[in-house]
Amino acid sequence: MRLRVLGCSGGIGGRHLRTTSFLVDSDILLDAGTGVGDLSLAELSLVDHIFVTHSHLDHVASIPFIVDTVGGMRARPITVYATRATIEIMRSHLFNWAIWPDFAEIPSPEAPFMRYQEIELAETISIGEREITPLPANHTVPAIGFHLDSGTGSLVFTGDTGPNDALWRLVNRIQNLKYLIVETAFSNKERQLAAVSKHLCPETLADELAKLERSPEIYITHLKPGEIELTMQEVEECAGEFHPRMLQNNQVFEF
């Protein structure tokens, strides 16, 4: 499997700051934040599957535009995979005809541009020889992370989460874990805000990584613009023993 980082920022504000989105091989998106907008029309048309961690705008903002842009170019609907709760939020608050047309019903309910597929924690979805398994997340809305397994190697993306013992119990069972992408949205001076919004800061990141019993390469995502250097300095101070690195736009992982 090949994962390309399209966006890994906690906000916008420059050509390198794109919100969360990862392209897996050429046909799968993990989340669809603003980074998806950098794909070409040809690349967008190849996306068959979108796996959504949660409903917040920085993770779903590009789904309406993808479907609207390439829906008519495709022979089959784009499948959006999410938990039942997240699907209901997107139906009610995004694809609701007031914010955007409901592309699960047009051009017709029998042949829509987009379809939903409900997923559940710990239930693996197989796409060819690739396996994607939802993992628990602890956030302000229903949320999950993902475990991607090629058969020879694995990558875990935590999604947006605060402290999360249930996640580490499952991650520690992954024998072929090669990469861990974990969020750290706030600096330590905003630890209270991180707690209220159910994100991590460097101090709580260190507490979480202490629960990890594997030795993957660790990458930090979802850093807030304006605090990137400060937060990564604090990550080094608090969790340097785990050798975490900052995730970069256009970085590629093969596993």
User: Tell me: the pLDDT tens digits for 169-178?
Assistant: 999 999 999 9
Q: In this structure, is residue 168 part of a structural domain?
A: yes
Instruction: Tell me how far apart the alpha carbons of residues 21 and 3 are, in angstroms, rounded to a whole number.
Output: 10
The pLDDT of residue 60 = 98
Report the CATH number that the domain containing residue 23 is assigned in CATH.
3.60.15.10
| The domain boundary residue, chosen from 118, 142, 171 | 118
Domain of 26, in residue numbers: 1-82+84-118
Does residue 134 sit in the same domain as residue 230? Answer: yes
pLDDT of residue 6: 98
Shared domain check, 164 and 134: yes
Does residue 253 lie within any of the structural domains?
A: no
pLDDT at 230: 98
Whether residue 103 is found in the same domain as residue 134: no
Do 105 and 126 reside in the same domain of the chain? no
The answer to whether residues 110 and 129 belong to one domain is no
255 within domain boundaries = no
Query: Is the distance from CB of 118 to CB of 125 less than 8 angstroms?
Result: no
Tell which of 70, 93, 118 closes a domain.
118
- Count the neighbouring beta carbons within 10 Å of the beta carbon of residue 147: 21
User: Which parts of the chain register pLDDT below 70?
Assistant: none
Per-residue confidence (pLDDT) for residue 15, from 0 to 100: 81
CA distance 157 to 17: 19
| Distance of alpha carbon 43 from alpha carbon 251, whole angstroms | 17
- Are 60 and 126 found together in one domain? no
**Does one domain contain both 233 and 176?**
yes
Q: Do 228 and 146 share a domain, yes or no?
A: yes
Whether 114 and 131 share a structural domain:
no
Looking at the domain assignment, is residue 252 inside a domain?
no
Query: Are residues 236 and 131 located together in one domain of the fold?
Result: yes
Q: What's the domain count of the chain? A: 2
Instruction: Check whether residue 99 and residue 147 sit in a common domain.
Output: no
Question: Do 144 and 217 share a domain, yes or no?
Answer: yes
Instruction: Give pTM, 2 decimals.
Output: 0.97
Q: What is the pLDDT of residues 82-100, one digit of tens each?
A: 999 999 999 999 999 999 9
